[in-house]
Structure formats: C-alpha cells, structure tokens
Amino acid sequence: MKVWEVVKKPGFDALVLAQKPEPKPKAGEVLVKMHAAALNYRDLLVVKDASNDSDMPESIIPLSDGAGEVVAIGSNVKDVEVGDRITSCFMPEWIEGPLTAKKQMSALGYLNDGVLAEYSVFPEKGVIRCPGHLSYEEAAALPCAALTAWNALTRRKLLPGSTVLIQGTGGVSLFALQFAKLFGARVIGLSGSAEKIIRLKELGACLTINYRTTVDWARPIMEFTGGIGVDHIIEVGGSATLSNSLSCIRYGGTISIIGQVTGATVQIDLGSILAKDVTLQGIYVGSRKMFEEMNNAITLHKLKPVVDRSFPFEQARAAMEYLESAKHFGKVCITI
C-alpha cells in the first residue's frame, strides 16, 4: 500500500511517498481503508522540524486525523464491525477522565504512526463511528480541531446569551464558532481578511473585526458588550493576541489557551489575570468520551464542518504548503 512518511530531512523534503506492506489487525485492533485525512498546524511542525527533532523516530507516517471504512477486525473486537465508517481518535489511549502524560504519548502522527496511508490499524477504542451525514473529508476534520474547540467550550459552563470570541479562521476557531452557536451563545470573530470576514458573518458571527485595520480590537469588543467584556475567548493566537484578550475578557471570564500561531512565548501581565479573576485553561484536544458527546451534538444538529479544500493523496505536500500559506478558511483535507 502507499503511504506518506516523514523522514529526517529538512523542511518539506521530509515528507516522502513510500510503499509499505498492508498492516494486519491483531487482537483488539481494526483495519481501516482510509478515505480522507485532515491537516493541522501541528503537522506542519512535525514535517518541518523533522531533521532537528531527536524525539521522533527515523520515520513515521504523519497526520493524526483520518476517516475511513473498517475492512477487517482482529479477535476480541466487540464494538466495531466491518463496514463501519469511522474517524480516528487523536490520542487512542485517552478514553475518558483527565489528560495524563501517558495518554498524551499515544497521539498519532508524531511519535507514533499516523493516518496518511491507504490502510491504517487502530486499537478498537481508537476509532469512533462518524455521524451519518458527514463525508469522509468532513469526518476527518473532527479528531483534533473540532474536539479541541468542544473541550474548550464544555469544560466550564457556557450559557445561552454568553459571548464567545474566536481568533482567525482556522479549524479550531470555526468549530468553536459553530459549537458556541449550538449553546445559544453569540460569537465575535476576528480576521485579517475582508473576504473571510464575509464568511464569518455567513456562519453567524454577530460582530466581526479586521485585526489588521483595528489593531486595538479589544476596544470595539468592550463597547459591543456594554463595557462588560467577553465570557470566553478561544485563544489561538499567542504572543500577538493575549494582551488584547486580557483587555476584553470579562470579570470571571475564561480564556482557553490552545494554539500559538503567532509564537509560543508571550509576555503577560499577571495583574490583569488576578484583578479580573480570569481563568486561563490549557486545552489539549480531548478524550474519546468528549468525542462521543460532540458527535451527539453534531448528529442532532446536522452540523457541517467547514472544509476549505481537499487535495488528492498524491498532492499531500501541496496541501501542507497551502496550509502554511494561511489562505484557508476552515480545514484543509486530503482525499485518499
């Protein structure tokens, strides 16, 4: 079977197409014919840092998020059947309960092989049935981006009538927009592109701000919220955004620390965290149990993930480059 591999080379050259024998499911495992995969910003880091990353094995199959059809099952598999349309779980060992280092080590596509292959083998608990109304590309969008957004919004109580701020138009941000609206919240969206702002409005953002033209975007947000501020901020920016976020978060509000698109090391003013009783919560994807709850909501509301574009399997590198260009709105996928 054909697979993409990341080997220890510099930059995108680390990503190469290869041939491997088709895997066989052992006891408790399932074999899946992959139909689609989805890219995350993290995958870019894996590919581009490959030559310097001593933790990484000599080569791995990249990408954590995939969807496909079960074509064979090992012995002792109880809850999955041949023919099931399934999605992979980002960390197959995070079934439920809180995150641990051990669960985290099971993440796909970095220390362990991922899903960018014609066939993949997963432990039974490492796959989850797709909502029936989703294509494979849409289903592949869920394991990391959607679950991160769901985990962020569901950890503390979110009430109808609340205000949620999203930053940019990547996968996590758009899922957060869609989920926040399911909760009856209103959503404020930031983007640097006039075109994307139109699409944020179409998705239901009640206020949109262009952060290029309105650098001090905390100010209009404070005005819009009557001087109170935002209840929950899905903080994916990092160094360029956190200071503004602290200015427009409400007393007692929540900032979910998710990404670091603009840099992982940030300067923050502890004074504003303590004076406003703010909670910063680190969010690292989520458990299988959260995934099941999220799928309930997606299924009930026939929610459709926003897929920007899907590249053919052979063009995986082009898909990566497209993600890096930051032109996308929603998820970038690969059809296998």
> Where does this chain bind its own copies (CB under 8 A)?
27, 95-101, 104, 154, 157, 159-162, 179, 182-184, 186, 238, 242, 251-252, 257-260, 264-271, 273-284, 287, 289, 293-301
Shortest distance, position 311 Cβ to its own copies, whole Å: 28
**Cβ 38 vs Cβ 68: under 8 Å:** no
Sequence-distant (≥ 6) Cβ neighbours of residue 39 within 8 angstroms = 63, 65, 319, 320, 323, 331, 332, 333, 334
Shortest distance, position 267 Cβ to its own copies, whole Å: 6
Shortest distance, position 251 Cβ to its own copies, whole Å: 5
CA angle 330, 323, 90 (to 5 degrees): 70
Read off the tokens for 54.
């001593």
Phi, psi of 74 (to 5 degrees): -80, 180
Q: Which is nearer to its own copies, 34 or 290 (CB)?
A: 290
Q: Which is nearer to its own copies, 210 or 272 (CB)?
A: 272
Task: State how beta strands 307-312 and 331-335 pair.
Answer: parallel
**Cβ 71 vs Cβ 120: under 8 Å:** no
Query: What is the H or E stretch that residue 246 is in?
Result: helix 242-248
Q: How many CB atoms lie within 10 A of CB 77?
A: 18
Distance between CA 19 and CA 330 in Å, rounded? 31
Shortest distance, position 164 Cβ to its own copies, whole Å: 12
Q: What is the DSSP letter of 208?
A: E
Read off the tokens for 107.
């993440």
Shortest distance, position 257 Cβ to its own copies, whole Å: 5
Q: Which is nearer to its own copies, 168 or 259 (CB)?
A: 259
Q: Which is nearer to its own copies, 225 or 310 (CB)?
A: 225
Distance between CA 140 and CA 132 in Å, rounded? 13
Shortest distance, position 304 Cβ to its own copies, whole Å: 15
Task: State how beta strands 65-73 and 85-88 pair.
Answer: antiparallel
Query: What 3-state class would DSSP assign to 262?
Result: coil
Q: Which is nearer to its own copies, 117 or 246 (CB)?
A: 246
Shortest distance, position 280 Cβ to its own copies, whole Å: 4
Task: Give 120's strand partners.
Answer: 32
Shortest distance, position 3 Cβ to its own copies, whole Å: 27
Q: Which is nearer to its own copies, 68 or 131 (CB)?
A: 131
Sequence-distant (≥ 6) Cβ neighbours of residue 205 within 8 angstroms = 166, 177, 187, 188, 189
Distance between CA 171 and CA 245 in Å, rounded? 20
Q: Which is nearer to its own copies, 120 or 162 (CB)?
A: 162
Q: Which is nearer to its own copies, 16 or 206 (CB)?
A: 206
Q: Which is nearer to its own copies, 59 or 279 (CB)?
A: 279
Shortest distance, position 312 Cβ to its own copies, whole Å: 33
